[in-house]
Amino acid sequence: MGINDPTSQQTTTLMTEDRNLSATFSIHTYDLSLLASEGGSVTGASTYDYGTLAPIVATPSTGYTFSSWAGTGVTNSTNPSTTVEMTDERTLIANFAKIPLSFTITSMEGGSASGSGTYDYGSNVALTAEPSEGYKFSQWEGSAVVNPNSSSTTLLLTEDSAVTAIFERLPGYWNEGWLGFVLQSDEDWMYVHPLGWMFSLTSKTKHDYWLWHSTLGWLWLEKNTFSNSQIWMNSENSWIFIDSSDWQKPKYYNYGNETWNNY
């Protein structure tokens, strides 16, 4: 009683008798507003008392990653789950970025391919394979592409991916590669100089082959070992060394029984 304006910080009281007065205080409250860039959502927006460490959480959508908080008072601006000190009205923005993914294209002997690079999650990457003379495109191997049998196709990138362009030898052409000079026939035979005619299970270019030789039987030729003229001879269960210094009379060394042999 007697207070002129009891809700005013500064007021007066009429002194007509002894009086006991008390001042009542309340803590300030502040609004926290949260916004999200494309690629995610946020939680934690509310009204908080002064000095509160308000929890805030940024959640990226599929294909995105959290980048940073923009605004003042954030405890750790690079942590998607952090706090903000409420000493004032605050508006924060959670920034998200698309996840960068690597895409690698390689090509087997017989042509080239393009499309490798770093792309955003969800990108439709264009792939192109170009066969060399004497070859034709066969297929894509590796990550799933839209049309694996087309030399020009696309791939939806949702993870780090890699594909390989596979080519086939065309009949009637001499091709030079890791096997040496090769002539592909209309059927499943190829002439490999200086080994001679070999039966192949495929005309596709590979890094290793099982080839059948009329004298030597089944042979396994692998790119790295064949570069040293070494071949696995299945009938002897042994490695052999090819000596083609005299291409008219080639011979081989059998590591198993340590003998030289003509073929």
Q: What is the largest CA-CA distance in the chain?
A: 134
Tell me how crowded residue 78 is: count the other CB atoms within 10 A of its CB: 10
Task: State how far the Cα of 239 lies from the Cα of 231, in Å rounded to an integer.
Answer: 6
Comparing 33 with 263, the larger pLDDT belongs to 33
Q: What is the pLDDT of residues 136-193, one digit of tens each?
A: 999 999 988 999 999 999 999 999 999 999 999 999 999 889 988 999 987 789 998 8
Backbone torsions φ then ψ of 226, nearest 5 degrees? -70, -25
CA dihedral 75, 77, 78, 82 (to 10 degrees): 40
Q: What is the pLDDT of residues 41-53, one digit of tens each?
A: 999 999 999 999 9
Place of tokens 């780090």: 160
Task: State how far the Cα of 233 lies from the Cα of 212, in Å rounded to an integer.
Answer: 10
Comparing 3 with 76, the larger pLDDT belongs to 76
The residues that bridge with 96 in the sheet, in sequence order, are 66
Please give the span between the terminal C-alpha atoms of the chain, in angstroms, as a whole number: 124
Q: Which helix (H) or strand (E) holds 224?
A: helix 223-226
The residues that bridge with 202 in the sheet, in sequence order, are none
Closest CA to 172 of 162, 157, 182, 158: 182
Q: Which helix (H) or strand (E) holds 111?
A: strand 111-114
Mean pLDDT, residues 221-229 taken together? 91
**pLDDT at position 263:** 81
Task: State how far the Cα of 200 lies from the Cα of 213, in Å rounded to an integer.
Answer: 9
- Cα separations (Å) of 210 from 58, 151, 262? 56, 27, 21
Tokens of 182: 């090769």
Mean pLDDT of the chain, nearest integer: 92
For the chain, the structural domain boundaries read 29-98, 100-169, 174-262
Q: Which helix (H) or strand (E) holds 49?
A: strand 46-49
Tokens of 69: 């908080």
Is pLDDT of 246 > 90?
Answer: no
Query: pTM of the predicted model, to two decimals?
Result: 0.75
Tokens of 216: 């030597």
Task: State how far the Cα of 212 lies from the Cα of 186, in Å rounded to an integer.
Answer: 17
Q: How many helices (H) and strands (E) does the chain have?
A: 1, 24
**pLDDT at position 170:** 93
Is pLDDT of 248 > 90?
Answer: no
- Name the strands in the sheet holding 64-70, side by side, starting at the edge strand that comes first in the sequence: 46-49, 29-36, 90-98, 64-70
Tokens of 19: 């009086």
Place of tokens 């507003």: 33
Tokens of 151: 């030399």
Closest CA to 159 of 119, 107, 126: 119
